[in-house]
Amino acid sequence: MENLITIKNLFVEYCSDIGAFGKKQVIHAVNGVSLEIKKGEILALAGESGCGKSTLAKAILKLEPIKSGCISFSDCKSQNNKDFRKFAQMVFQNPYASLNPKMKIIDILKEPLEINTDLTKDQILKKVKEKISLVGLNESSLNLYPHEFSGGQRQRIAIARALMLEPEFILADEPVSALDVSIQAQVINLLKELKEKFNLTILLITHDMSVIKYLADRTAVMYLGEIVETGKTEDIFANPLHPYTRALLSAVPDFEKKRKGLTLKGDLPSPSDLPQGCKFHTRCPRVMDKCKTCIPEEIGSFHKVKCFLYE
Ligand SMILES: Nc1ncnc2c1ncn2[C@@H]1O[C@H](COP(=O)(O)OP(=O)(O)O)[C@@H](O)[C@H]1O
Ligand code: SF4
Ligand SMILES: [Mg+2]
């Protein structure tokens, strides 16, 4: 399958002030990520909170400057803002914060078309009606405000907004984790349906391994700003290689028994003071001496892993 997005050796960092002496602290949020997103796939990006998933997402969508490395897009007409917004759109975690409370739904949905296209008012209205019904809401919703909807409905509206410019790529950052568990499945199913209908390519960020198992074609596991394992989702679940992936899976009920003793110990180290050697060594149940000083290379071709156990 052809790559839609290719990321090579990407670094992103934040600078923040600490202390009274104007001392700067550098937060190494993304550390040398190389990753391919293939046309028409749902690629999941997994990893616990704070490991750099959202930063990587923002860098892909040009919402965060990169320090070094490169990201290339195979189908994007040009790198200008309008063309890029037609190519790539985002669905955020919190539909309470991502929809402007002062705007009616109709105006929220019209906005991307008014800014980025030359369509007439009638053409815009037609598309707005089309998209609201695509996400399972009726046209009477258009004259209401965001607060008049439930969380699940708001996320449907956010998805409709992401679809307005008919993008090829959608990045969904924890799209259901702010929603009631009872309605998460509906929103997940909607994403799956839309993906199939429009042959979308989706990068799905989530820390929920059961969502990944259900939805993703391939999975990439991130730890402290690095991708430590990638592969087909079924392979990752059947045969997780990296000790960190195993620990993540041990939190999933079906896998709990099989992988006893692999629960994560200790906290995520600070991304402003990264461990030497393998970044997971401070928490790894299989740690060896060389892990503390040497950095493992990524090995494998379809199922890739970055760990000395497999060299
Ligand atoms: N705007 C920011 N300024 C400074 N630090 C940030 C900023 N955004 C995120 N970080 C830090 O970068 C690291 C990665 O964060 P993030 O990408 O949000 O991880 P995730 O989405 O996996 O939870 C965290 O340590 C976080 O505190
Ligand atoms: S390289 Fe060593 S510390 Fe890192 S995950 Fe593998 S065994 Fe654990
Ligand atoms: Mg995040």
Structure tokens at 60: 């892909």
What the block records as the tokens of 226 is 């690095």
Tell me which residue has its CA closest to atom 9 in ligand 1: 55
Residue 255 reports pLDDT greater than 80: no
Q: What six digits make up the tokens of 69?
A: 């490395």
Give the DSSP letter string of 210-268: HHHHHH-SEEEEEETTEEEEEEEHHHHHHS--SHHHHHHHTTSHHHHTTTTT----SPP
* 118-173 pLDDT, tens digit each: 999 999 999 999 999 999 999 999 999 999 999 999 999 999 999 999 999 999 99
State whether the beta carbon of 281 lies less than 6 angstroms from ligand 2.
Answer: yes
Whole-number pLDDT of residue 95 = 84
Distance 96 CA to ligand 2 centre (A): 40
Identity of the amino acid at 258: K
Q: What size, in residues, is the chain?
A: 311
Task: Kindly give the distance from the C-alpha atom of residue 138 to the centroid of ligand 1, in angstroms, as a whole number.
Answer: 37
How much is the pLDDT for 181?
A: 87
- CB 240 near ligand 2, within 6 Å: no
The atom number, within ligand 1, closest to the CA of 58 reads 17
Encode pLDDT of 65-121 as tens digits: 999 999 999 977 777 888 899 999 999 988 888 899 999 999 999 999 999 999 999
Whole-number Å distance, alpha carbon 228 to ligand 1 midpoint, is 18
Distance 113 CA to ligand 1 centre (A): 31
Q: Residues 34-59: what's their mean pLDDT? A: 96
| CB 279 less than 6 A from any atom of ligand 2 | no
Going by alpha carbons, the residue nearest to atom 3 of ligand 2 is 281
**Average pLDDT of span 214-235:** 97
**What is the arrangement of strands in the sheet containing 68-73, beginning at the earlier edge strand?**
23-38, 3-18, 68-73
Nearest CA to ligand 1 atom 5: 14
Report whether residue 11 contacts ligand 1, using a CB cutoff of 6 Å. no
Given pLDDT bands bounded at 50, 70 and 90, which one contains residue 182? Answer: confident
Return d(Cα 231, Cα 233) in angstroms, integer. Answer: 6
Across 212-228, average pLDDT: 96
**What residue type is assigned to position 299 of the chain?**
I
- Whether 251 shows a pLDDT value over 80: the answer reads no
Q: pLDDT band at residue 34, thresholds of 50, 70 and 90?
A: very high
Q: Is the CB of 51 under 6 A from ligand 1?
A: yes
* Per-residue confidence (pLDDT) for residue 20, from 0 to 100: 65
For the residues 203-229, what does the mean pLDDT come to? Answer: 95
> What pLDDT was estimated at residue 17?
77
pLDDT of residue 262: 67
**Which residue out of 24, 54, 279 has the highest number of ligand 1 atoms within 8 Å of its CB and is therefore the one to mutate?**
54
pLDDT band at 206 (very low <50, low <70, confident <90, very high): very high
Task: Of 159, 207, 151, 219, give the one whose Cα is nearest residue 180.
Answer: 151
Question: Which ligand has its closest atom nearest to the C-alpha of 58?
Answer: 1
Mean pLDDT lowest among 19-23, 45-49, 125-129, 275-279: 19-23
Centre of ligand 3 from the C-alpha of residue 140, in Å: 33
Query: Which residues place a Cβ less than 5 A from the ion ligand 3?
Result: 54
287 within ligand 2 shell (Cβ under 6 A): yes
Nearest CA to ligand 2 atom 6: 307
Using a 6 Å cutoff on CB, does residue 305 contact ligand 2? no
Nearest 5°: CA angle at 201, between 59 and 227?
A: 50
Mark out the alpha helices in the chain (DSSP H runs): 53-60, 81-87, 95-98, 105-116, 121-134, 151-163, 181-198, 209-215, 233-238, 243-249, 253-256
Nearest protein Cα to ligand 2, atom 5: 307
% of the chain surpassing 90 pLDDT: 82
The pLDDT value given to residue 124 = 98
Q: Verify whether ligand 1 is closer than 6 Å to residue 145 (CB atom).
A: no
